[in-house]
Structure 1
């Protein structure tokens, strides 16, 4: 789908209006973006659609990254029969995180109304992929618009699947384990999005599922370490690959018998040669293959801006991490730490940072490519801990400032004080990482994968 640039819907319909219906803005207490959003929704509920559109547009000016405000404006503009700008507002809301199957389907309906068959087909196809149980109505819509577009329905596999990819892999279920009340499973979203795009680029049909494996095709299971019930583990079928993202050092696999049983019984993917050697040895299994983490265009979504934070670090804290953050504060840098913050809120913080810091949790560690890949894809300057025993690929090392633990604070200070060098590092980061095709890397992993025999 071509990018839809934000545009003021009101510019084409009426002059920018004033806040109405009781909003009391004063010189000292102007209404916040949230206040304006609530007022706009109240106006809409009372049928005052023009006033609602005006106020929602003002809310967006205060907070351009509010998915809810863009979504509300889309609804109001659609009621005003301004489909063109409603579509743009809805596309913006989807891009900012309001991207359920229903959201994509409504966006597809808007594209149909505008005669944009290619965009409609892609929107309906995405909506269908987000509905694991399928939808006859969506399939009908997709079939109709696909006939008038250059887009082919996923089942038709318009992209020729490479001949060396086994037939079982022609359909893949991307499955995440997301227990209720665990906010950290949101950390899986970036990898799922990247895998989804890369697999489709190989012509593979993809279904995204949560807590539900499929019996057809292959399941790529992310977050299997969160399965605690032996009965649940036993129900995972043999057409499943465990995607291990955990560093075995400190993970204490021996204390996780359910996860260990899955790794012994099923094929495993891991990103680290060091991890792979340990899994093969500890689990006594040869069915472990390496996958690499690469680039897809969908990863680039942090909006560039003039950053105000010197150094951003996100993740859990321990003594060694806390000591570095304290050192950065004492050096006079503006430091922000986030924990349990994901998706759009995290992206805002990333865009606002001059440097993003990456540190090991354990002294002897693997480079956290699952974290830094997203930063590299968004042209961020990274200072990353890299000791003598850190496992890291050569090109990734070149894409950032990789230094021993003792040099982290000094390296951050030096980079903050050298803006030309920092900006050059941002360009280099993207240039290097964007050459790593996630589709090519998944192709290699698929071809290398062997499943254990079924007992």
Structure 2
């Protein structure tokens, strides 16, 4: 059983303005819900402080389900929730606040824990009158950043000369869409056309010609790094290149990398890849998938060992390298599950790859070990295992498709909640000297906000 708890304060007029709406997402039959669990739930609240209790199912509610809800409502004695409702999980109109993953516990115990959790949120609601209770995000609000110029140049790798530069396609598209959502005017150019005198973000600077890097101005240019830097990581960022990059403000996808930059005296800002609606575009799963497990990316010994172990157990395993865009999407649609493995022992989470899968609700089992960096806090909200347990974890996911689908939904909602790309980028712009200086110059006249 997997239960996710979604809680929010209602925004309607009195007396509902302080009411909480709690959705229990479960694949259990509603008819099997112990009435004692509902009594325990309602006992937490007073009659003048009600809570709407919603059961959200992965299937369309049936007439029998509706009748069951009616019976449960009539059977309650004493203080009751504001209402007991039934919805399809896809129709939930609010964002997740907290999720409780309880694969084995008794449903009665879980509902009691849920009630206690929501009761605690009631006690702090006055301090959080404008926020969804329990909501946490990377960044803060989403609004137009305080900058003088809305124009921003995004310099991207040239895919015509390097097909593997297409690995950054979704990163670039997310930047373009999310910058636009916060009122910026992004302009995409190739690395070779990187601006020397306009505020610019250079994506994947390790692919930039060093001669071009030398011509760029640190006071107008930000380098957005997407490579692992620590020991055991990539050799694509050489010591010479690192020294050249150190003159600039660095945006980096990994907080581990950021700490390393800062230890060297570089001004570095953590800018992970977040959720953008543009990412949701994968075609539906084929009715008869060709593969059980697919791995996309280059393969080394540590990756190959897991793939071969799965194949030895009879699973249809496919490893693909150098596939991007629609070709990759078509491959994903023909596969039941994606396996994400670390390439390097440095174990930085491959957020660029995972964000696309989470945003598209594609089942993915990812390697997360004791030392894996987890900047978005997704460890408890996605299918994962340490390296030595990956084969068993993948088998479990394949043999339990309903639970896998539920956990995939959990990861999707959690990712949307904590990592809105527009909020992340807004915060990054306001921390970056290039745009902060522009804002300060515009402050006296309060103009130029474009």
TM value normalised by structure 2: 0.61
Instruction: State the shift of 1:251 in Å.
Output: 2.4
Output one character per residue of 1:39-98: Cα deviation in whole Å (capped at 9) or x when no partner.
Answer: xxxxxxxxxxxxxxxxxxxxxxxxxxxxxxxxxxxxxxxxxxxxxxxxxxxxxxxxxxxx
Q: Distance in 2 between matches of 1:347 and 1:264?
A: 36
Shift in Å, 1:261 = 3.6
Shift of 1:402: 1.7
2:399 aligns with 417
Q: Which residue, 321, 338, 346 being the options, matches 2:320?
A: 338
SS, match of residue 265 in structure 1 = coil
**1:443 equivalent in structure 2:** 426
* More displaced 10-residue stretch of structure 1: 185-194 or 388-397: 388-397
Counterpart in the other structure of 2:279: 299
Separation in 2, partners of 1:372, 1:254: 22
Match of 1:176 among 128, 145, 156: 156
Is the Cα contact below 8 Å between 2:145 and 2:182 reproduced in 1?
Answer: no
Give the Cα separation in 2 of the matches to 1:303 and 1:254: 35
Residue of structure 2 equivalent to 1:220: 201
Deviation at 1:290, TM superposition (A): 1.1
Q: Secondary structure at the match of 2:295?
A: strand
The counterpart of 1:387, out of the listed 369, 375, 378, is 369
For 1:417 and 1:162, how far apart are their aligned partners in 2?
44
Structure 1 segments (4+ residues) deviating >4 Å: 161-164
8 Å contact from structure 2 (residues 152, 198) kept in 1 = yes
**Structure 1 residue 165: Cα displacement:** 2.2
C-alpha distance in 1 between matches for 2:189 and 2:408: 35
2:448 corresponding residue in structure 1: none
Please tell me whether residue 273 in structure 1 is matched to residue 265 in structure 2.
no
Distance 1:420 1:164, change over 3 A: closer
Contact 2:157 / 2:204 at 8 angstroms: preserved in 1?
yes
Q: Secondary structure at the match of 1:277?
A: helix
SS in 1 for 2:212: helix
TM-score by structure 1 length?
Answer: 0.60
The answer as to whether partners of 1:247 and 1:275 remain within 8 angstroms in 2 is yes
Aligned equivalent of 2:311, options 329, 341, 357: 329
Partners of 1:254 and 1:345 lie apart in 2 by: 29
Secondary structure of residue in 2 paired with 1:269? strand
RMSD of aligned alpha carbons: 2.1
User: Which string of whole-angstrom CA distances, capped at 9 and with x for unpartnered residues, describes residues 402-438 of structure 1?
Assistant: 2110111111111111111122122222222222311
Shift of 1:319: 0.8
CA distance in 1, matches of 2:178, 2:252: 17
Q: Which residue of 2 aligns with 1:289?
A: 269
CA deviation after TM superposition for structure 1 residue 180, in Å: 5.2
Distance 2:245 2:421 in 1: 24
How far apart, CA to CA, are the structure 1 residues paired with 2:388 and 2:270?
31
What SS does structure 2 have at the residue aligned with 1:248?
coil
Shift of 1:264: 1.4
Q: Give, in whole Å, the separation in 1 of the partners of 2:144 and 2:237.
A: 40
Who is 1:134 aligned against? none
TM alignment of 1:252-271, pairs within 5 A: 252=235, 255-257=238-240, 259-271=241-253
Aligned to 1:319: 301
- For residues 216 and 198 of structure 1, do their structure 2 counterparts lie closer, same or farther at Cα, with a shift above 3 Å needed? farther
Change over 3 Å in CA distance of 1:417–1:271 after alignment to 2: same
Give the number of the structure whose residues are more often helix, by fraction: 1
Q: For structure 1, which runs of at least 5 residues remain unmatched after alignment?
A: 1-160
Is 2:415 the partner of 1:427?
no
Could you tell me whether the CA contact under 8 Å between 1:324 and 1:409 is conserved in 2? yes
The structure with higher relative contact order (CA 8 Å, sep 6+) is 2
String of CA shifts for 1:210-259, please: whole Å, max 9, x gaps.
Answer: 12112454211012112243x322112331110000011322477341x2
The correspondence for 1:166, drawn from 143, 147, 159, is 147
Task: Rate the CA distance shift 1:277–1:393 in 2: closer, same or farther, 3 A.
Answer: closer
1:205 maps to which residue? 185
Q: Which structure features the higher share of strand residues? A: 2
1:35-54 equivalence runs, <5 A: none
Q: 1:336 to 1:216 in 2, by over 3 A?
A: same
Q: Which residue of 1 aligns with 2:93?
A: none
Q: Report the 3-state secondary structure (helix = DSSP H, G, I; strand = E; otherwise coil) of the residue aligned with 1:167.
A: coil
Please, which runs of 5 or more residues in structure 2 have no aligned partner?
1-141, 438-450
1:318 and 1:361 in contact (8 A); partners too: yes
Residue 245 of structure 1 corresponds to 226
The 8 Å contact of residues 376 and 399 in structure 1, kept in 2 or not, is answered as: no
Q: Report the Cα offset of residue 194 of structure 1.
A: 0.6
